[in-house]
Amino acid sequence: MAKRTDKAAASTRAVLRLSRDQRLAWLRLIRSENVGPATFRALVNEFGGAEAAIDALPSLSRRGGRTHDIQLCSETEAEAELARAEDLGADLVAVGEPGYPPALAHVDAPPPLLYIKGRADLAEIPIVAIVGARNGSAAGQKFTRQLASELGSEGFVIASGLARGIDTAAHRAALEQGTIAVVAGGIDIVYPPENEELQHAIGESGLLISERSPGFSPRGQDFPRRNRLISGISLGVVVVEAAERSGSLITARLAGEQGREVFAVPGSPLDPRSAGTNNLLKQGASLVTCTGDIIEVLAPILGRPPPAPAGLAAADEHVAPAPLPDILQTERKLIIGALGPSPVDIDEVIRMTGVATRKVHIVLLELDLAGRLERHGQQLVSQRL
């Protein structure tokens, strides 16, 4: 069933192709201090390209109240990172380029760059994520293998996070037909250690994805970011087993926020590993007792091409950006005064202050680069405390 969408997927591929110099500039910008995906997009669109944005970072951060120099990623550092990736056989792909998962390009503030290793074509095929408990039960892992194998036979690619338990069972069952592992650290960092052989196999016959630099060891806060990518590349997320407080539930929540389908496998109320999945069902997740339950929900989506993603300037780095407008101190105070600890929509800040849209966005960039602004997605911002 999923095979019907191959032509549709191909027709939605963007034609963006960065030159090597542009790729290095994008890498330098996203690796610079206080620049996340949302800030990256705002900077590139404001200044017409990554190089011009990098040049503007020091002055913008000072105008935002920063008292010491912002740390910029140097050309030497970016070149070294790319060289390490090339030695590993990994490619650095930009949003919109072939190899970048099309579904991920449509989420709010997608990573501008990803490292991929393996079969890039798997990113273009409809993807279903299967996640669950690291201490998954024997029955849960058996059902996971069944789902992964049968979905693979139907033309779907199986994605997961290469964790112990349910994730590992899903990857192993789907390896022959196609599986994608999204890792929280660098593409060469193996976690957990016992999955070294599996990670190597996925890098050869499946696809490894990471937004982190080679050699980066994941920290606790990096796993929710990984979970956001797992749900973002997928049409839907299937949770097989999950305790009440589980990373798998974070993936399910993110999937809902991204407009993805959320599926849950019911379990015994006496098993704490089923508490999270049973709660998902109470909240409206689709019930899964067989592979057909998943296919039935996804069938209407498969033939529907996604909307075009929000524009990100491919950028002619040789064109000078428009000069920044003069911003009065009274205007800056109005914008800062409209912010507080609770997230507020940027459009509401513009309406409330009466300051020109471009000026508001520039002041927000200044505050962001100075470390004084928190971006929450969906155009929501707040003061960083």
In order, the DSSP letters of 25-72 are HHHHHHTSTT--HHHHHHHHHHHSSHHHHHHHHHHHHHHTT--SPPPP
- Same domain as 351, residue 227: no
Q: Is residue 323 part of a domain?
A: no
Place of tokens 């010491």: 68
Find the farthest-apart pair of alpha carbons in the chain and give their distance in angstroms, rounded: 65
In the chain, the amino acid numbered 106 is H
The DSSP call for residue 104 is G
- Is 83 within the bounds of a domain? no
Q: What is the dihedral of CA 278, 183, 104, 95, to 10 degrees?
A: 170
Tokens at residue 177, please? 């037909």
Q: 198 lies in a domain?
A: yes
Tell me the CATH number at 298.
3.40.50.450
Residues 229 and 361 in one domain: no
Which pLDDT belongs to residue 1? 46
218 in a structural domain: yes
Angle between helices 37-47 and 50-63 (to 10 degrees): 110
CA separation for the pair 305, 69 (Å, rounded): 45
* Nearest of 22, 19, 25, 39 to residue 373 by alpha carbon: 39
We report the CATH number of the domain holding residue 366 as 1.10.10.10
| pLDDT at residue 304, rounded to an integer | 61
Residue 310: the pLDDT is 54
One domain, residues 287 and 355: no
What is the token pair recorded at 18? 């960065």
Same domain, 148 and 283: yes
d(CA 108, CA 111): 9
DSSP output for 145-213: HHHHHHHHHTTPEEEE---TTHHHHHHHHHTTT-EEEE-SS-TT--SSGGGHHHHHHHHHHSEEEESSP
Confidence (pLDDT) at 306? 55
130 belongs to a structural domain = yes
Residues 136 and 253 in one domain: yes
Which residues form the domain of 296?
116-302
pLDDT of residue 183: 97
Q: Are residues 273 and 344 in the same domain?
A: no
Question: Is there a single domain that holds both residue 360 and residue 249?
Answer: no
Along the 385 residues of the chain, how does pLDDT read in single tens digits? 444 344 334 434 445 789 999 999 999 999 999 999 999 999 999 999 999 999 999 999 999 999 999 999 999 999 999 999 999 999 999 999 999 999 999 999 999 999 999 999 999 999 999 999 999 999 999 999 999 999 999 999 999 999 999 999 999 999 999 999 999 999 999 999 999 999 999 999 999 999 999 999 999 989 999 999 999 999 999 999 999 888 899 999 999 999 999 999 999 999 999 999 999 999 999 999 999 999 999 998 886 655 555 556 555 455 667 788 899 999 999 999 999 999 999 999 999 999 999 999 999 999 999 999 999 878 899 998 7
What pLDDT is recorded for position 317?
54
| 3 domain-assigned | no
> Are residues 368 and 259 part of one domain?
no
Query: What SS3 class is residue 385?
Result: coil
pLDDT at residue number 17: 85
The pLDDT value recorded for residue 10 is 40
**Which pLDDT value is given to residue 377?**
79
Q: What is the number of domains present in the chain?
A: 2
Q: How far apart are CA 230 and CA 252, in angstroms?
A: 10
Co-location of 216 and 338 in the same domain: no
Residue 321 within a domain? no
**Residue 349 shares a structural domain with residue 285:** no
- In angstroms, the Cα distances linking 123 to 32, 118, 317, 323 are 28, 10, 29, 39
- Verify that 298 and 151 share a domain, yes or no: yes
Together in a domain, 269 and 341: no
Give me the residues paired with residue 180 across strands. 159, 207
d(CA 217, CA 189): 7
340 falls within a domain: yes
